[in-house]
C-alpha cells in the first residue's frame, strides 16, 4: 500500500477532482481579471468574461500566457497580490538580459511546502529520513523548495546546496543521508568523485534519489541506480508555476510523473498551431495554476514536450501522469542545471567592442559535467592583435557570461567569417551530450 501525504486529495475520483478544478479555475479567473491589467486586457480582447467559463472545456477558449508576456511585465506587473502580501521572490532565466520574476504570498509558500511534502512522500520518503539537499539555494527554486517540503514533512534536511563535492560525500557518509536530491548529472559526477576518493556508495545509507531540473533518460536512470545504489525518481517543476514539486514520479509505479491536479490544470498542445492534443499525444505542456495568489498563470506555455496518461496507476493516486520530458519547443538549454537561452549569450556578446554577432555554442558532457564552449568571431583589427590581447578579451567574455548567467564556459575567439553562415535559421548550438 502506498503512503500518502494528503490521501483524500491524492486519490480523489476524477469527477470530484474535475469539479474542484472548475471551481478553483472560476475563482482564479475572477481574481486575475480584477487584479492584473494584462489578464483583463487579454480576456477582453478574446471577448470572454470570467463568468463565461462554465466547464473545463471552456479553458481552451482562453488565451495563452508566454515567457515573453512575463518579460514584458518585468518585474511585478503580473502579480495578482499587492506587494505587501508578497513574502518571497524567486527568479529564473529570461530569454535575454532580464530574469523571469515570481512572487509568493504566505499562502503560496504554505501550499508549495505542502505540495513538496506530498511530492517527497510520493517518492517513498518519510519522517525520519535524512535528506541531503544538493539543489542550489538562492533565486533558483530548487534548494528552498525541497527544503521547505522536507521540513513540512518532518524529515531532517541537510541544506548542503551545490558544489564542494568531496565535502558533500563526507557529509553524506557521516550524517547517514538516506535521500539525495540534486540534478541527475550532478549525481553521476558525485559517483565519479566518490570512486576517486575511495568511497563505495554501497556502504552509504542512501535509499532514494529525487532528480530533476534538467532533462535525463531511462538509460541515465539505470546508470545512476547502479552507481549510487538507490532508487532514482524523476521530479518536475518550473519557477513560473511554483518550483520543484509540480509533478513527481511515484516509487510504486516508476512510470510517469503525477501532476498535482488539485492545484494545476495540465493540457498538451501542438506547439505550432496551439490546438489541444489528446491523451497519449506528444506536444507542449501548458499549465494553468488554480490556487496561486502571488502570480497565478492562465494557460502558461512551459515549452516542455511530454504527453498525458490517464490510466489508473498502481499507487492509487488519481492525478494524471506526465511522460518523462523529451525536449523543448524552444531553444532553451540547461547547462549544469542552469537554464540558458542562446539569445542571452548573444546579448552579452553584442555589447563587447570588437566582437561580431556570429557565434556558435558547443555543449558537451565530460566526466558527467556539462561543458560549454563559446566560439565567437572578432573583427580583423582585434584578430591581428597580439595573442595577449586576444587572451584577455576571451577571459573578459568568459567572466561576463559567468557574472550574468552563472555558467562557466570557455571562449574561443575565431577569425572573421569562419563560423558557418546560413540562409535560413542559423545554427547556433551544437549539443553533443548523449543523455
Stretch that binds ligand DLL, among 6-14, 72-80, 237-245, 393-401 (CB under 6 A): 237-245
Q: In 198-297, where does DSSP find H-type helix?
A: 218-228
By CB under 6 A, residue 306 contacts ligand DLL:
no
Among 129, 304, 370, 377, binds ligand DLL (CB under 6 A): 304
Q: Which is nearer to ligand DLL, 50 or 237 (CB)?
A: 237
Closest CA to 372 of 380, 362, 381: 362
Candidate residues 86, 113, 220, 325; the one interacting with ligand DLL per rule CB under 6 A: 325
Residue 123 is a binding residue for ligand DLL (CB under 6 A): no
Q: Are strands 208-212 and 231-238 parallel, antiparallel or unpaired?
A: parallel
Q: Quick check: 212 binds ligand DLL (CB under 6 A)? A: yes
Query: What residues numbered 327-346 form the site for ligand DLL, per CB under 6 A?
Result: 328, 334, 339
Q: Closest Cα to residue 144, out of 153, 152, 135?
A: 135
Candidate segments 29-37, 57-65, 171-179, 228-236, binder of ligand DLL by CB under 6 A: 228-236
Burial of 334 (0-12, 13-18, 19+ CB in 10 A): middle
CA angle 324, 290, 133 (to 5 degrees): 50
Name the residue nearer to ligand DLL (CB basis): 33 or 112: 112
Of 92 and 318, which CB lies nearer to ligand DLL in the complex structure?
Answer: 92
Assign residue 217 a region (left: φ > 0; alpha: ψ between -120 and 50; beta: otherwise): beta
Using rule CB under 6 A, residue 215 touches ligand DLL? yes
> Residue 417: left if φ>0, alpha if ψ -120 to 50, beta else—which one?
left
Total interface residues for ligand DLL by CB under 6 A:
23
Q: Which is nearer to ligand DLL, 178 or 239 (CB)?
A: 239
List 233's β-bridge partners, or say none.
210
Binding mask 133-172 for ligand DLL (x = CB under 6 A): --x----xxx------------------------------
In the three-class reduction of DSSP (H, G, I as helix; E, B as strand; rest coil), residue 191 is classed as helix
CA–CA–CA angle 351, 353, 354 (5° rounding) = 130
Q: Which of 22, 131, 158, 213 binds ligand DLL (CB under 6 A)?
A: 213
Quote the CA–CA distance of 310 and 188 in Å, as a whole number. 32
Query: Is 305 a binder of ligand DLL (CB under 6 A)?
Result: no
Report how far residue 337's alpha carbon sits from residue 188's, in angstroms, rounded to the nearest whole number: 13
Q: For ligand DLL, which residue of 92, 178, 293, 368 counts as binding (CB under 6 A)?
A: 92
Binding ligand DLL (rule: CB under 6 A), the pick from 105, 302, 318, 344 is: 302
- Per the listing, cell 523529451 goes with 326
The nearest distance, CB 135 to ligand DLL, in angstroms, is: 5
Minimum CB–partner distance for residue 180 and ligand DLL (Å)? 12
Nearer to ligand DLL, 33 or 104 (CB): 104
Distance of CA 184 to the CA centre of its chain: 13
Q: Find the shortest distance in angstroms from Cβ 277 to ligand DLL.
A: 18
235 sits near ligand DLL (criterion: CB under 6 A)? yes
Q: Does 99 bind ligand DLL (CB under 6 A)?
A: no
Give whichever of 209 and 215 is closer to ligand DLL, judged by the CB atom.
215
* Range 400-407 contact pairs with CB under 8 angstroms and sequence separation of 24 or more: 400/348, 400/352, 401/345, 401/348, 401/374, 404/97, 404/344, 404/348, 405/93, 405/338, 405/340, 405/344, 405/345, 405/348, 406/338, 407/335, 407/336, 407/338, 407/340, 407/372
**Residue 328: half-sphere exposure toward Cβ, Cα within 13 Å:** 14
Binding positions for ligand DLL, rule: CB under 6 A: 92, 135, 140-142, 212-215, 234-239, 243-244, 302, 304, 325, 328, 334, 339
Amino acid at each position: 500500500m502506498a503512503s500518502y501525504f494528503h490521501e483524500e486529495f491524492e486519490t480523489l475520483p476524477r469527477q470530484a477532482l474535475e469539479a474542484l478544478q472548475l471551481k478553483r479555475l472560476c475563482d482564479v479567473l475572477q481574481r486575475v481579471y480584477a487584479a492584473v491589467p494584462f489578464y483583463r486586457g487579454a480576456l477582453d480582447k478574446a471577448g470572454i468574461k470570467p463568468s463565461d467559463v462554465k466547464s473545463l472545456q471552456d479553458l481552451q477558449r482562453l488565451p495563452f500566457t508566454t515567457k515573453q508576456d512575463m518579460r514584458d511585465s518585468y518585474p511585478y506587473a503580473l502579480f495578482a497580490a499587492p506587494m505587501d502580501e508578497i513574502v518571497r521572490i524567486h527568479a529564473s532565466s529570461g530569454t535575454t538580459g532580464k530574469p523571469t520574476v515570481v512572487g509568493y504570498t504566505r499562502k503560496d509558500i504554505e501550499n508549495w511546502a505542502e505540495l513538496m511534502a506530498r511530492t517527497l512522500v510520493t517518492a517513498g520518503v518519510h519522517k525520519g529520513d535524512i535528506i541531503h539537499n544538493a539543489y542550489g539555494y538562492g533565486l533558483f527554486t530548487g534548494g528552498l523548495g525541497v527544503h521547505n517540503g522536507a521540513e513540512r514533512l518532518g524529515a531532517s534536511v541537510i541544506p548542503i546546496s551545490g558544489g564542494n563535492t568531496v565535502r558533500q560525500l563526507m557529509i553524506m557518509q557521516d550524517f547517514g543521508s538516506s535521500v539525495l536530491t540534486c540534478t541527475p548529472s550532478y549525481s553521476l559526477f558525485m559517483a565519479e568523485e566518490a570512486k576517486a576518493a575511495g568511497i563505495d556508495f554501497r556502504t552509504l545509507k542512501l535509499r532514494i534519489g529525487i532528480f530533476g531540473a534538467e532533462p535525463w533518460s531511462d538509460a541515465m536512470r539505470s546508470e545512476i541506480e547502479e552507481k549510487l545504489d538507490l532508487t532514482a525518481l524523476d521530479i518536475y517543476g518550473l519557477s513560473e508555476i511554483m518550483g520543484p514539486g509540480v509533478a513527481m514520479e511515484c516509487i510504486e509505479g516508476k512510470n510517469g510523473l503525477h501532476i498535482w491536479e488539485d492545484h494545476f490544470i495540465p493540457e498538451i498542445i501542438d506547439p505550432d498551431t496551439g490546438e489541444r492534443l489528446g491523451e497519449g499525444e506528444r506536444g507542449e505542456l501548458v499549465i494553468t495554476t488554480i490556487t496561486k495568489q502571488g502570480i497565478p498563470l492562465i494557460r502558461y506555455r512551459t515549452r516542455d514536450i511530454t504527453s498525458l496518461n490517464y490510466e489508473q496507476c498502481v499507487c492509487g493516486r488519481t492525478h494524471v501522469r506526465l511522460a518523462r520530458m523529451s525536449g523543448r519547443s524552444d531553444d532553451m538549454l540547461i547547462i549544469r542545471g542552469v537554464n540558458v537561452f542562446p539569445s542571452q549569450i548573444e546579448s552579452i556578446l553584442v555589447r563587447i567592442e570588437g566582437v561580431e554577432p556570429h557565434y556558435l555554442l558547443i555543449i558537451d558532457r565530460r566526466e558527467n559535467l556539462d561543458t560549454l564552449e563559446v566560439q565567437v568571431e572578432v573583427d580583423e583589427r582585434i584578430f591581428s592583435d597580439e595573442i595577449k590581447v586576444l587572451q584577455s578579451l576571451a577571459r573578459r567574455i568568459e567572466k561576463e557570461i559567468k557574472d550574468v548567467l552563472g555558467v562557466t564556459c570557455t571562449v574561443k575567439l575565431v577569425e572573421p567569417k569562419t563560423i558557418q553562415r546560413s540562409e535560413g535559421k542559423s545554427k547556433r548550438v551544437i549539443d553533443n551530450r548523449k543523455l
